[in-house]
């Protein structure tokens, strides 16, 4: 599955990757980024599974979507890697 994640994320533009990184590992995905993930995964709706609903909804009633935990881990590093990262003093 990690190869699939790498392949899909590898099809995103640098701007789309920067947008995902700017949101952080649990940021709510805006429509243009879910559309980008769909495109990178093969077409409309194909990215479902790379992003998942949080269970909450936006002001317009649509579900909040976030990167699936393993996709987020691939992009941001696993939680254990984040915890072990050196910190500036």
State the average pLDDT over residues 30-56.
94
CB contact at 8 A, 65 and 59: no
Model confidence at 2, pLDDT cuts 50, 70, 90, reads: low
Residue 61 within a domain:
yes
Q: What is the pLDDT of residue 89?
A: 38
- From 50, 15, 55, 10, select the one nearest 34 (Cα to Cα): 50
Residue 89 within a domain:
no
pTM assigned to the model: 0.81
Residue 64 within a domain:
yes
Residue 42 within a domain:
yes
Locate 17 and state its tokens.
């990757």
Tell me how many domains the chain contains.
1
Residue 78 within a domain:
yes
Residue 43 within a domain:
yes
Residue 66 within a domain:
yes
Q: What is the pLDDT of residue 77?
A: 84
Full domain range(s) for residue 22: 2-84
Q: What is the pLDDT of residues 60-89, one digit of tens each?
A: 899 999 999 999 999 988 654 443 444 443
State the average pLDDT over residues 25-47.
94
């Amino acid at each position: 599955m990690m190869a699939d994640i790498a392949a899909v994320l590898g099809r995103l533009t640098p701007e789309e990757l920067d947008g995902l990184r700017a949101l952080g590992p649990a940021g709510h995905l805006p429509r243009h980024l879910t559309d980008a993930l769909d495109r990178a995964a093969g077409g409309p709706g194909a990215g479902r599974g790379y992003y998942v609903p949080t269970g909450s909804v936006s002001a317009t009633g649509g579900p909040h979507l976030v990167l699936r935990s393993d996709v987020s881990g691939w992009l941001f590093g696993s939680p254990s890697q984040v915890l072990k990262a050196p910190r500036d003093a």
